[in-house]
Amino acid sequence: MGYRSIAIDGPSGAGKSTLAKRLAQELGFLYVDTGAIYRTVGLAARRRGIDPSDAPAVGQMLPNLSIAMGYGEDGLQQMLLDGEDVTQAIRENEISRWASKVAALPVVRDFLLGMQRHAAQEHNVIMDGRDIGTVVLPQADLKIFLTAEAGARAERRCRELLERGQQADFEQVLREVVERDRRDMERETSPLRQADDAVVADTTGLNLEESFALLLEIIQNRLGDGEGRHE
Ligand code: DC
């Protein structure tokens, strides 16, 4: 039997990564966070002083970068940039903007496509992002479009930032969420959109446990208990 894949797409702050990580543990799948890969490219552009919207400049930078995805003993994804572990550095709020800008460039998306597909050829995966069901893994066994109202997502983002000891102003975070949604949905290349065959899960008003239960039910209905295991 081939490997199974579950694609989870949706706007930022819908809980994709937290939920996908837990689901992957539950099912014994590998969790692939594709946003982290775009964040790593954004971080690289920032460190090199390259305008993240300047396609030729970013395109020239790409072949000189070494970007690698690894997994720690805890099973969690780590990102390496030129050999340095940048797993934490890419989480800074500032990097979200850089990631969103480089992610709008076709040259960047093409460059990262093979790396994402490769992971799904060698493992059962739960992969989250914006274009997984539409572009990266159009043959995924299950596609989930995970969403929530912008206000609910901004609230969660604020809580996350505060937990990490970073500053969070709700109005500003909400503005950023709305702006990032717009940029992710309006870009020409691989915009964020729901795949025609995706199941929609709206987590507005649901807490983490409730959201988790909802997704697990969707997955079990579609894939059956434990059927995805390759061993
Ligand atoms: O999920 P995230 O916030 O870590 O993603 C960072 C940025 O990368 C976000 O603005 C959207 C972009 N992204 C993308 O365009 N395609 C993906 N598959 C994943 C993320």
Residue the block writes with tokens 């982290």: 36
pLDDT (0 to 100) of residue 228: 47
The structure tokens listed for 156 are 């969660």
Ranges of residues in the chain whose predicted pLDDT is under 70:
1, 225-231
Q: How far apart are CA 81 and CA 18, in angstroms?
A: 23
pLDDT (0 to 100) of residue 75: 80
From atom 11 of ligand 1, which residue's Cα is the shortest distance away?
A: 100
pLDDT (0 to 100) of residue 167: 86
Phi/psi class of residue 13: alpha, beta or left (left: φ > 0; alpha: ψ in -120 to 50)?
A: left
Q: How far apart are CA 97 and CA 198, in angstroms?
A: 27
pLDDT (0 to 100) of residue 9: 96
Identify each DSSP E strand in 56-206 by its residue range.
67-71, 77-81, 84-85, 125-129, 142-147, 199-202
Please give all residues whose beta carbon lies within 6 A of any atom in ligand 1, as ranges.
12, 34-35, 38-39, 96, 99-100, 103, 129-132, 180, 184
